[in-house]
Structure 1
Amino acid sequence: MINGEKKLERPIRWAMVGGGRGSQIGYIHRSAALRDHHFQLVAGAFDIIPERGKEFGVNLHISPDRCYSDYRKMFEEEAKRADGIEAVSIATPNNTHYEICKAALNAGLHVVCEKPLCFRLEEANELEDLAKKKNRVVGITYGYSGHQMIEQARQMIANGELGDIRIINMQFAHGFHSDPVECHNLSTKWRVDPKFAGPSYVLGDLGTHPLFLSEVMLPGMKIKKLLCTRQSFVKSRAPLEDNAYTIMEYDNGAVGTVWSSCVNAGSMHGQKIRVIGSKASIEWWDEQPNQLRFEIQGKPAQILERGMEYLYQEALEDDRIGGGHPEGLFEAWSNLYSRFAAAMERGKDLNQTWYPGIEAGVEGVRWVQNCVRSADNGAVWVEYQ
């Protein structure tokens, strides 16, 4: 159980690029990073408007001279300080991730990056090679994977409780963009513009989340080939999709599907993953993240609850309060930031646990690229490359 005692000799000196006032995601980065005293926010380039970014940084109790006009200036000036930053989080539009991450690694910094890591697999491979060369950690914020019941599912599958894995059904299908909300919502507008969002919308923005959950639960399974079809039901979003279906075949003979959608009218969030084996199935829904449904063929369904002593020890390690008290997305993100910090302190990947690192970022780019290639060639099967 996490109780707030220090696990690092000292907090990591940390900065943010983006995530300023009005950011949809900036606050959860700061809340997660600062919660367990693993990071100390000492600098930032929070906004494309320097004066607004400086005002915001000062309101976060950052010294005015460490609120910078842009990330390049921040990396340059912080490198001159004996107490300069050691890590940076990137919370900016998608089209900037590659260049900022590359600059941070070249500056000798650890990185936590919003997904997608970048747009092209060549760029992703370049960043992976650079991270290894610099011996720096790159964490990707697949925040839902920090929920403890994901770890429970991982352990149950590894211990054979489901039998041979046959089917993985995944979805992230909400309804909040059933109408062209981007006409009056700036945080959505850039997500449907290829210049900023890249080659996809919901495949990259939504579908990669349950895909990564499947990678956590089933680390040994690899995709062999896939077929993807995508649609733009709100026509102004074309060529980017607001709905997509992906079918996958794995190297062990299993099959999987991912439904990625923002036009599932009436759905609040709609992220689910169901793993089906020869003996039993498990299902996790992010709107009820403290529960895992376990169904053994021929027996009544069981609802496993977070924090209970019948769970695997690995699923209890990140508990912050006893069972019965709900934990949510902020706790899940905090769990991941704790793992990022432990890896950064050691200067290498953790040996005893997992976290969404540079490999997860590369795989997300690879999956989207293959989905787009399949869809744009007429929804055909393509070998996974």
Structure 2
Amino acid sequence: MIHGERKTAAPIRWAMVGGGRGSQIGYIHRSAALRDRHFELVAGAFDLDPERGRAFGAELGLEAGRCYPDHATMFAEEAARPDGIRAVSVATPNNTHYAITKAALEHGLHVVCEKPLCFTTAEALELADLARARGRIVGVTYGYAGHQLIEQASAMVARGDLGEIRLVNLQFAHGFHSEAVELENPATRWRVDPRFAGPSYVLGDVGTHPFYISEVILPHLKVKRLLCARQSFVRSRAPLEDNAVTLMEYDNGAFGTVWSSAVNAGSMHGQKVRITGAKASLEWWDERPNQLSFEVQGEPARILERGMPYLHPEALADDRIGGGHPEGLFEAWSNLYDRFAIAMEASDRGDTARLAALRYPDIAAGVEGVRWVENCVRSADRGGVWVDYE
């Protein structure tokens, strides 16, 4: 990775739905997808306002005729072109993800979708079945999982460095919405409106990120039951929560907690993952993504640095600029888009062995994120009671 060699035969013709002018997440998608030359942006339906979308597409250097008024028109017209798109990224509000992803799969396209994939587990499973039937890849942008030290943590757990896993402490608790910022900020307004955001705010918006990271590090652990309590401290956000605490029991007897919050006043980001075993603990904090804490009982604490030769090969494969130089969000997202492209190409040529060996947030991760939120909401809405994980 560090020398930037292409890992696919040719760039994948790619489009975006949403992510137009002023969209921070749209810029992140494009920066990540285009970085390693795996994708070529050739079309888009960037905005609900067709003229504004066309103007933005022109700024990106796209042909005017391939800047479409909506996703349905784009999918139909691109399907009729010999050089039509092969993949699309969906960077639109939550309530549109299911319909756009389904339409893309029905047109034979690979998809990269913002989370949540949809609002219900039933919808998510329908999309998974459709992706499987069409032989298409669906990637979900749990971008923080692209940090190379997440791979290091996974390898250390698999090797037994921590011993039997006992505790899983997860949090993503920032403070930027500790007041009703949505009154002035349209980008936040839809996130706290159930018509657009779905059945939750912070559980789906931030809580699913560390939950997915824990799945990467601990693939052998499965949630058996959970209890969730959620609050709307900014009252106008009810029935959606801006703070939630989830307790989880795993099938091996381990115990987990997830703190999801947008009202942790003073916190910049507050995403931390701590895994505790019988012998040692690991901790990763996304504000210091280049370090992984490794604490063995009875020994001095150690800090493992990104890009160093003592890391596992799986971690070093994601290295981009060598040890000592700080990396961050764009590198993590680029690593995910790198894997998305490899998966899409492998799927197109029927390389099931390559697909089986590749770890990325796929349709199953999207399904599990929706399932986790659904179970949390079910528990919270029953008064914060234990529920079996369904």
TM-score bucket (shorter structure): over 0.9
Contact 1:178/1:234, CA 8 A, preserved across alignment: yes
Counterpart residue number, 1:379: 384
Counterpart residue number, 2:276: 276
Deviation at 1:109, TM superposition (A): 0.0
Counterpart residue number, 2:60: 60
Q: Secondary structure at the match of 1:5?
A: coil
Counterpart residue number, 1:223: 223
Distance 2:128 2:357 in 1: 21
Counterpart residue number, 1:200: 200
TM-score by length of 1: 0.99
Distance 2:251 2:387 in 1: 14
Q: Secondary structure at the match of 1:25?
A: helix
Quick check: 1:320 aligned with 2:325?
Answer: no
Which letter does structure 2 place at the counterpart of 1:27?
Y
Counterpart residue number, 2:243: 243
Distance 1:331 1:362 in 2: 25
Contact 1:161/1:279, CA 8 A, preserved across alignment: yes
Quick check: 1:137 aligned with 2:141?
Answer: no
Deviation at 1:346, TM superposition (A): 1.0
Contact 2:31/2:330, CA 8 A, preserved across alignment: yes
**What is the aligned-residue RMSD (CA, Å)?**
0.7
Contact 1:152/1:312, CA 8 A, preserved across alignment: yes
Deviation at 1:328, TM superposition (A): 0.6
Counterpart residue number, 1:265: 265
Unaligned runs of 5+ in 1: none
Q: Aligned pair count?
A: 385
Alpha-carbon deviations, 1:310-349, whole Å to 9, x = none? 1111110111111000011000000000000000001167
Deviation at 1:48, TM superposition (A): 0.2
Deviation at 1:381, TM superposition (A): 0.2
- Give 1:64-83 correspondences, 5 Å limit: 64-83=64-83
Distance 1:117 1:2 in 2: 31
Alpha-carbon deviations, 1:19-47, whole Å to 9, x = none? 00011300000000000000000000000
Distance 2:89 2:257 in 1: 31
Alpha-carbon deviations, 1:243-274, whole Å to 9, x = none? 00000000000010000000000000000000
Alpha-carbon deviations, 1:288-308, whole Å to 9, x = none? 001000000011100000001
Which letter does structure 1 place at the counterpart of 2:233?
F
Counterpart residue number, 1:183: 183
Which letter does structure 1 place at the counterpart of 2:341?
A
Quick check: 1:104 aligned with 2:104?
Answer: yes
Unaligned runs of 5+ in 2: none
Counterpart residue number, 1:301: 301
- Give 1:74-93 correspondences, 5 Å limit: 74-93=74-93
Deviates more, 1:332-341 or 1:343-352: 343-352
Deviation at 1:220, TM superposition (A): 1.0
Deviation at 1:176, TM superposition (A): 0.2
Q: Secondary structure at the match of 1:350?
A: helix
Counterpart residue number, 1:211: 211
Distance 2:308 2:331 in 1: 17
